[in-house]
Chains A and B, each alone.
Chain A
């Protein structure tokens, strides 16, 4: 039963990679990066490493905010 769940989460992550690869707008690329993160964190949680999942879930938004400040929000 977990196998089907992993297939669906992998589909989410691969579709997010497609969004981040094929988009022209910078905001759409950042949304794709967020979808990739959302697809990969359940793999860490299903494997049982919940402390790693907490750390990754709290550190990935910081990387997104840094990318946002560097690329599109330089003078905002």
Chain B
């Protein structure tokens, strides 16, 4: 259970870095760190309560979705900045 608290502290650290960062590209780097930390929270908390394979499936689905989201933002940002 202490492992999930460490993952949650990493998530709060990543969120604070997103808040206080000026550049959008560096915000995207710490958004990826936040996605890793939240995946750790899901798989370590839920894996001790219910079936671990179901928790792994939920964490994998979250990770796929979050990576798709941040990559969509990053690729649109790259296309807009490369065009100008």
Q: Which A residues form the contact surface with B (CB < 8 A)?
A: 1-2, 4-5, 8-9, 11-12, 15-16, 18-19, 25, 27-28, 30-31, 34-35, 37-39, 41-42, 45-46, 48, 50, 53-54, 57-58, 60-61, 64-65, 68, 72-73, 76
The tally of residues in B whose CB lies under 8 Å from a CB in A reads 43
A72-B42 contact, Cβ under 8 Å, with A25-B24, A27-B73? no
Q: Is the interface of B mostly helix, strand, loop or mixed?
A: helix
Inter-subunit contact B64/A5 (CB<8 Å): no
Complex interface: chain B residues within 8 A of A45 (CB): 42, 45-46, 55, 58
With both beta carbons as reference points, the residue of chain B lying nearest to A53 in the complex is identified as B58
Inter-subunit contact A50/B55 (CB<8 Å): yes
Q: 6 closest pairs, A vs B, by CB?
A: A61-B69, A57-B62, A8-B8, A57-B65, A54-B61, A50-B58
Inter-subunit contact A5/B8 (CB<8 Å): yes
**Nearest CB of B to A18, in Å:** 7
Selected contact of A57 from candidates B27, B31, B61, B70, CB within 8 Å: B61
**Nearest CB of A to B44, in Å:** 10
Complex interface: chain B residues within 8 A of A50 (CB): 46, 50, 54-55, 57-58
Within residues 38 to 77 of chain B, which ones have a CB less than 8 A from any CB in chain A? 38, 41-42, 45-46, 49-50, 54-55, 57-58, 61-62, 64-66, 68-70, 72-73, 76-77
